[in-house]
């Protein structure tokens, strides 16, 4: 397959791809071991991680409308933004949990959270095009 055709196929897939779930997991290594946190967010649906038709059900609407709404999902750009927002929360929560369990010091937690918030703010601003380097792929 030639490069031009591959590029067109990739562009078409990217334009029509819809994401219905974002998962972010984090771990913090400390003196007492590792602390793990995982967040899972679904786009306007009730997710059943074990599988089954419940994955397609929306808490709003009725019948076929609920399934259609859940299948719409997020664009790739929206999913990237959702992953950043969820990742920020997972990172902060992992450090909160690690400090709460005594695995890291409160000072280590505060320093890490400050850096995490600054880094994610930069990435989110960049994705939204607020820094002039917006990415839309």
**Angle, nearest 10°, between helix axes 76-100 and 106-127?**
170
Tokens (6 digits) for 2: 């030639």
List C-alpha distances in Å: 41 to 21, 23, 31: 6, 6, 30
The residues spanned by each domain of the chain are: 14-127
pLDDT over threshold 70, residue 64: no
Tens digits of residue pLDDT in 105-123: 999 999 999 999 999 999 9
Predicted pLDDT of residue 50: 52
Tens digits of residue pLDDT in 8-60: 888 888 787 888 889 999 999 999 899 999 998 887 765 455 554 444 444 55
Q: Which of 74, 48, 22 is nearest to 57 (CA)?
A: 48
């Amino acid at each position: 397959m030639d490069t031009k055709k591959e590029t067109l196929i990739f562009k078409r897939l990217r334009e029509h791809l819809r994401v219905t779930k974002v998962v972010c997991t984090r771990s913090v290594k400390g003196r007492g071991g590792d602390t793990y946190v995982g967040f899972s967010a679904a786009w306007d649906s009730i997710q059943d991680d074990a599988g089954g038709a419940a994955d397609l059900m929306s808490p709003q609407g009725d019948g076929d409308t609920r399934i259609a709404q859940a299948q719409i999902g997020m664009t790739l750009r929206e999913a990237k933004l959702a992953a950043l927002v969820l990742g920020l929360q997972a990172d902060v929560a992992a450090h909160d949990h690690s400090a709460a369990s005594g695995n890291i010091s409160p000072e280590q937690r505060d320093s890490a959270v400050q850096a995490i918030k600054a880094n994610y703010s930069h990435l989110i601003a960049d994705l939204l095009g607020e820094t002039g380097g917006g990415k839309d792929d």
